[in-house]
Amino acid sequence: MGIVFACIAPHGDEIIPQLAGDKLEAFNKTRQGMEKIANQMKKQEIGTIVIATPHNLRLKGNIGVITAESTEGTLQTDSGSIRIHFKCNRPLAEEIMRRAKKSKLPVIGINYGTDEGSSSCMPMDWEALIPLWFFGAKVRRPRVVMVTPSREIPMEKLVRFGTLVAQAAKKTGEKVAFVASADQAHTHDKKGPYGFHQASVKFDKLVKEAVKGNNLKTLLNVEKQLIKNAKPDSLWQIAILIGVLEEAPMKGKLISYQAPTYFGMLCAAYMPT
């Protein structure tokens, strides 16, 4: 057992029908991509989903591992709202922590409320909530482990962390999925919050090519200025995915890509060959 499925999943709230409003059709391509990933994951009978999100606690210079007993979140727009609740795989989270500390990685365990019991419940950020709505809220609900990469540490440490996640997953005796929750460049539209920069198109093209060529490692060498101009929130979660794939080799497939507003959204699935 261990990690038998992985994916890169976007988290724009408009991909969820209840939240889309008048953008329902505009985000349809990505919505269909997420539904396809969800169906593929369901076939694997996943027991736990490890999800890497950059929008939970921002622990500067440290990787966070959520060790709470459960996690829940609510997301509301003018069009509607959703709410989900998951049990956490606490033993797996603690095993990931143990291995990361032994490897001298900068990692911190995170709980919320109480040490244990029903009040030990970590608030879920939207970058975890949206993929998990597709991947677990409508079928037999797996347990989850949330991890939060840091942008202030070297990429190679995030890659190393990914290998440790995969090694820890092997000890669970169940099938595990890894989700890199990630939107791509955020400078596709001059009307967006970050304006327009031509780097957005270049960056997203690099990610698409890396997925199609099954060579995500090329993204570890992207120029810092290009990253600054394109403003993605994907590289750090993808770095963890690279480490996962080193320990649990799988072949990737690009399922969909679009940029209907100011940010790019890419769906990709990874399965054993």
Q: What is the pLDDT of residue 77?
A: 87
Q: What is the pLDDT of residue 273?
A: 82
Condensed to tens digits (0 to 9), the pLDDT of residues 41-81 reads 999 999 999 999 987 777 889 999 999 999 999 988 888 99
Q: What is the pLDDT of residue 22?
A: 92
Helix (H, G, I), strand (E, B) or coil at 2: strand
Q: What percent of the chain has pLDDT over 70?
A: 99
**Mean pLDDT taken over the chain:** 94
Q: Quick check: 71 and 85 in contact, CB under 8 A?
A: yes
What is the spatial order of strands in the sheet that 251-258 belongs to? 107-110, 63-66, 143-148, 48-52, 175-181, 2-9, 265-271, 251-258
Q: Domains in the chain and their CATH numbers?
A: 2-271 (3.40.830.10)
**Stretch 7-35: mean pLDDT, rounded?**
94
Angstrom distance (rounded) from CA 263 to CA 192: 8
Condensed to tens digits (0 to 9), the pLDDT of residues 112-139 reads 988 898 899 999 988 899 999 999 865 5
Which helix (H) or strand (E) is 226 found in, with range? Answer: helix 224-230
Condensed to tens digits (0 to 9), the pLDDT of residues 182-196 reads 999 999 999 999 999
Query: What tokens appear for 121 in the block?
Result: 């419940």
pLDDT at residue 15 tops 70: yes
Q: What percent of the chain has pLDDT over 90?
A: 87
Full-model pTM? 0.96
Q: What is the pLDDT of residue 54?
A: 80
Which residues contact residue 212 at a Cβ distance below 8 angstroms, ignoring those fewer than 6 apart? 254
Q: What is the pLDDT of residue 55?
A: 77
The candidate with the shortest Cα–Cα distance to 16, out of 41, 42, 34, is 34
Residue 1 confidence class, pLDDT cut points 50, 70, 90: confident
Angstrom distance (rounded) from CA 24 to CA 17: 6
Q: What is the pLDDT of residue 58?
A: 79
- Residue 232 dihedral angles phi and psi, to the nearest 5°: -80, 160
Angstrom distance (rounded) from CA 68 to CA 87: 9
Condensed to tens digits (0 to 9), the pLDDT of residues 84-110 reads 999 999 999 999 999 999 999 999 999
